[in-house]
Amino acid sequence: MRLTTLAVLALASTIAFGCSKSSSSGGSATGNPGTAASDLEVRTAKGVIKSVDAAAKTATIDHEDIPNYMKAMTMKFDVESAALLTDVKAGDKVEFTFTETKSGGLLVTKLKKL
């Protein structure tokens, strides 16, 4: 069982890294250059739950297009707390909030059923 969990976690990391993010900043570069490293982006998106794994704290979500960030796709997200997964199951439509982690992964911090 423990080996299975590790395998799932490794897979999740691989998927998160393989996910193509378009971070094109088309606008004028008037942002604070000094804050880029510490400011982790927070985004909200909608999608359909494909599967959840409370033990591994991951959820596979078929998410809609996230403007200027990611096209619609099915991918696995890390979830901040297993408690976020207690109310959802495969097939549920959800709205979720996630941040980029410093290691380059994506972490869901809020998840609610629509």
Q: Which residues bind Cu ion (CB under 5 A)?
A: 19, 70, 73, 75
The SS3 assignment for 25 reads coil
Nearer to Cu ion, 31 or 62 (CB): 62
Q: How far is the CB of 3 from Cu ion (least distance, A)?
A: 27
Nearer to Cu ion, 22 or 86 (CB): 22
Rounded to an integer, what distance in angstroms lies between the CA atom of residue 78 and that of residue 67? 21
* Cβ-based neighbours of 1, under 8 Å, separated by 6 or more: none
Q: Pairing mode, if any, of strands 93-100 and 106-113?
A: antiparallel
Q: For CA atoms 106, 104, 13, 64, give the dihedral sign.
A: positive
Q: How far is the CB of 102 from Cu ion (least distance, A)?
A: 19
Nearer to Cu ion, 45 or 56 (CB): 45
Q: How far is the CB of 86 from Cu ion (least distance, A)?
A: 24
Nearer to Cu ion, 19 or 107 (CB): 19
Rounded to an integer, what distance in angstroms lies between the CA atom of residue 14 and that of residue 104? 11
Q: How far is the CB of 63 from Cu ion (least distance, A)?
A: 6
